[in-house]
Structure 1
């Protein structure tokens, strides 16, 4: 089936036999036929008379649904009329969280494009790999982040269009939008037309691209928020995750708009700014990572957060101590959850009523989960094993048959996490089953950091592992073998860290660097990471 004029993304979907089994089983999850998710998330608010309701606030701006609708329509016109755009083109967004980011997101989908959202900290090398992998033709970039974007060269890239995400000026996109009509007939997508491509950890070498349909966008709005949050149009959402993370996209755009609520966006969400926003703008639902909840607890007594009714944590497992301290300080229970880019959002969580302190929770409506061994056989309750999940959404890697076979086995999504299930069906996190380092809510693959370090002229070999850390959850720890071992010193470490932050996303840099004469290896030359992890723990 040809969904778009540019059918690249659909042509690279895994064969249906390699995809996870998806099921609905409930009328809330039935989205079929012709469907553009923008209709439900945005356009219907206008049609049903809610256009004057607030959609987005920042510390300096207020946008109604009508404001957002009109700007998204003008952006769609600009793509189609000025930028050599055809439906199915992949369009990258490079920006911090701000209203124009959201307008671009909707405008791309209205025109029949596929959104590739990124985080503002990514560097030229990582952006180039994304553009090459997804054959991205267009970029919407906040002008404040243009410098790194202009370093990217690719035969696929046709247009880099800047905009002013601060709301205080005019850049190229605003100029092109200026006289465009404020109405637009949305492209006739189908329920299983690809809407977004999310890049998972591997942004060096060959990254993994996971695709999600228009119906997937709406399906997750019927799952976690209805199960755990019970949103109303009076709710105000906020949080710290970038909209380039599906955790942030769901929590601060999809969920509030699906239920007619509003969102409060903060470009650089420090704990103080989060608390200030909660106090001044009566935030009721907040999404952030365990590391942020820990810091918020130390400052919460300085602010009035009486409007806050739901606190959601994901990105890494929530330590019991953080939950206890927050509850003692506020009387609010943090709702923990686990999700993934591959499955789009949270699939195991809890409510305040069924919550068990320390447990991640139960499979939410729309999903089921089990614990399996390496052969895919279910293990007895209480036994640690691999987490397997299936339900309304599932993994669809675009570019890797082998990775698809790793992630989807016997119709189940194998997340890479080690869990155990108790006799009552609650799931408890045990460990990551791979070399993923989760630091302050960021997913950092060890191989990504290693690939960068190995480009340094003084590094002969390296291996990267996660170092447990009370504040960040984990730290990136690099073990290096230098070409000249005499260079190993604190000054060299500092210069290497500074260099890393110049050539790759700063949040990935190794905060700990240790020097070895040789890396522990097997007889076949494979690095024995477990020995390095034992060194860390010692």
Structure 2
């Protein structure tokens, strides 16, 4: 009988994709289900087939097999039982991609404990807030981070070194999972949160099933792909779309460990003949800016990106070097992926800059403040039908006549100046077309006469002087409109970003507010 992985067209996705068909991709059912079994154990057949390729920043490649991860995870699960860890307790780990990372991730889930991946670059305050929120029994990290981890009250700190692997080696290499489909499996922290106190998004084991809609139609993943996702598995995109989704289908995935290097990524794409990559928009922009693409050969057939829209100049670079359309996938940690571009579907037109169309079974609208549907081309709030009512995504968007959606910025990224409503994203994308601009971010800042004016923060390959400011202003005004340009331009060496690589405009707004407050004082 045909399975969803056998279909690649947009038409077939609409005809065949439903919840029942998703369950057919797995061993478990609506009662008994375990992510570790579905992603690792059932694919461990003694062949040594690779599960994860890790491209280290220092140039090393590390390849972990399904067999090695399955055996280590089983032993770690037995060790947790031996240590008295009970189902529902949280096991946190602050590790780069490595054998201990995957052993901890999947081993904890087998026992019914909850895995909590934490970003390795967290400082003491960021770590403390998350530990206080999820109250883990054990926190596993490397030797470098051990002192930081021990400074946070609460969990027992374990160093994931050869000693830990030696300690768990005495336990059996197989384990029978104990979980029901609705048991909690993962606590996930969003990288872009604006909350003062972070709160985990809680996922059950059955979340792997619903994830497959986004995997099949957002990244286009299918058995036979050589997959790669450079996003950290401490965050939603790297964990769910870069790790669990491909492994759940038995597809070898790839990831990055250490400080991100765009040249090292391009090397890994060529060396491993990667055919399908899903990355953050920033990863693509950094590869373009590195200026080294001519040094490598690429084999990509499917590309997807998330986090924020890609500017037109970077899309042109992708088309030139990767020779395949870059497909946006839109969603959040809280709601999942809901808009996709169906990579690999030959009957789906990928419109540059578009968020695409809804995944099967999802309903979205762009709405006016009064709740009525916006007309094509009219900017409004992007709303998702969920639980019998409309819920806000807190993003602004528009549609075209064909039903494609386009991102127009966060609700708080809209700039209103002298009565004109402007999109920070649209101004940024225009400025990025200028040869002198490597990166930029746009916000609205208070102005006594206009209410707000546009301020651009620019990383430039040229000297940032008054002449360049005037050049950028004229360039933007000519391409958009006479009122839509940055009245203020500040040249900077770097832009604040979330750990997932998105420009953090809120930090820029907060800095400007602090400057104004200091000036007033």
Asked if TM exceeds 0.5, the reply is yes
Match of 2:50 in 1: 54
1: distance between equivalents of 2:375 and 2:359?
A: 21
Query: What is the rounded CA distance, in whole Å, between the counterparts of 1:374 and 1:477 in structure 2?
Result: 21
Distance 1:92 1:374, change over 3 A: farther
Q: Does 1:70 align with 2:67?
A: no
Matching of residue 40 in structure 1 with residue 38 in structure 2: yes
In 2, are the aligned partners of 1:239 and 1:274 still within 8 Å (CA)? no
TM-score, normalised by the number of residues in structure 1: 0.70
- Superposed CA deviations along residues 62-91 of structure 1, whole A, max 9, x for unmatched, are 221111100111111111112x31100112
Matches within 5 A, 1:243-322: 243-268=233-258, 269-297=260-288, 298-305=291-298, 307-322=299-314
CA apart distance, 1:472? 4.8
- Provide the residue aligned with 1:195 in structure 2: 185
Asked if 2 retains the 8 angstrom alpha-carbon contact of 1:98 and 1:266, the reply is no
Aligned partners of 1:419 and 1:431 also within 8 Å: yes
Question: How much has 1:367 moved relative to structure 2?
Answer: 2.2
Mapping 1:164-179, distance limit 5 Å: 164=161, 170-171=162-163, 173-179=164-170
**Superposition CA RMSD, Å:** 3.4
- Is the partner of 1:389 in helix, strand or coil? strand
SS in 2 for 1:518: helix
Q: 1:434 to 1:214 in 2, by over 3 A?
A: farther
* More off after superposition, 291-300 vs 420-429: 291-300
**2:381 corresponding residue in structure 1:** 386
- Confirm whether residue 370 of structure 1 aligns to residue 368 of structure 2: no
Deviations along 1:105-151, whole A, 9 cap, x unmatched? 11111011112222111111111111111222221212232232122
Cα contact 1:53–1:64 (8 A) shared by 2: yes
- Superposed displacement of residue 39, structure 1: 2.2
- The alpha carbon displacement at 1:263 in A equals 1.7
Shift of 1:190: 2.2
Residue correspondence of structure 1 range 419-498 to structure 2 within 5 A: 419-434=397-412, 470=432, 471-472=438-439, 474=441
Question: 2: distance between equivalents of 1:426 and 1:520?
Answer: 45
Q: 1:293 to 1:40 in 2, by over 3 A?
A: same
> In structure 2, do the counterparts of structure 1 residues 250 and 329 end up closer, same or farther at CA, with 3 Å as the change threshold?
same
Q: Is the Cα–Cα contact under 8 Å of residues 36 and 190 in structure 1 kept in the other structure? A: yes
Q: Counterparts of 1:473 and 1:99 in 2: how far apart (Å)? A: 38
Change (3 A) 1:176 1:347: farther
**Is the partner of 2:48 in helix, strand or coil?**
coil
1:411/1:198 CA distance change after superposition, 3 Å: farther
Q: Which residue of 1 aligns with 2:203?
A: 212
Aligned: 1:348 with 2:348: no
Taking the TM superposition and a 5 Å limit, the aligned residue runs for 1:217-256 are 217-221=208-212, 223-256=213-246
1:421 deviation in Å? Answer: 1.6
Change (3 A) 1:115 1:476: farther
Q: How many angstroms does 1:247 deviate by?
A: 0.7
Measure the CA separation in 1 of the matches of 2:237 and 2:517: 39
CA contact (8 A) 1:143 1:162 kept: yes
- Give SS of 2:42's match: helix
TM-score (norm 2): 0.72
Runs of 5+ unmatched residues, structure 2 = 1-16, 24-28, 55-59, 415-423, 433-437, 447-492
Q: State the shift of 1:206 in Å.
A: 2.4
Q: Residue 179 of structure 1: CA displacement? A: 0.9
Number of residue pairs the alignment of both structures matches? 417
Name 1:333's counterpart in structure 2: 325
Q: Tell me, yes or no, if the aligned pair for 1:416 and 1:433 is still in contact at 8 Å.
A: yes
> In terms of mean alpha carbon deviation, does 125-134 or 292-301 score higher?
292-301
Q: Alignment partner of 1:424: what SS?
A: coil
* CA distance in 2: counterparts of 1:277 and 1:266, whole angstroms: 9
- Alpha-carbon distance in structure 2 between the residues aligned to 1:27 and 1:237: 26
Quick one: distance in 1 between partners of 2:129 and 2:304?
32
Per the alignment, do residues 99 and 384 of structure 1 end up closer, same or farther by CA in structure 2, a change over 3 Å counting? Answer: farther
- The whole-number CA distance in structure 2 between the counterparts of 1:336 and 1:114 is 31
Range with bigger deviation, 203-212 or 112-121: 203-212
The whole-number CA distance in structure 2 between the counterparts of 1:38 and 1:328 is: 39
2:304 partner SS = strand
- Assess, with a 3 A threshold, how the Cα gap between structure 1 residues 374 and 263 changes in structure 2: closer, same or farther: same
Change (3 A) 1:517 1:216: closer
Structure 1 pair 227–520 and aligned structure 2 pair: CA distance change class (3 A):
farther
Q: Residue 369 and residue 285 in structure 1: after superposition, are their counterparts in 2 closer, same or farther (change >3 A)?
A: same
SS of the residue corresponding to residue 367 of structure 1 reads: coil
Q: Displacement of 1:275 after TM fit?
A: 0.9
Aligned-pair CA distance for 1:36? 1.4
Aligned partners of 1:81, 1:225: CA distance in 2, in Å? Answer: 36
Supply the distance in 1 between the matched residues of 2:32 and 2:169 (Cα, whole angstroms). 31
User: Given the alignment of the two structures, is residue 518 of structure 1 paired with residue 508 of structure 2, yes or no?
Assistant: no
Q: Which residue of 2 aligns with 1:120?
A: 120
- State the secondary structure of the residue aligned to 1:96: coil
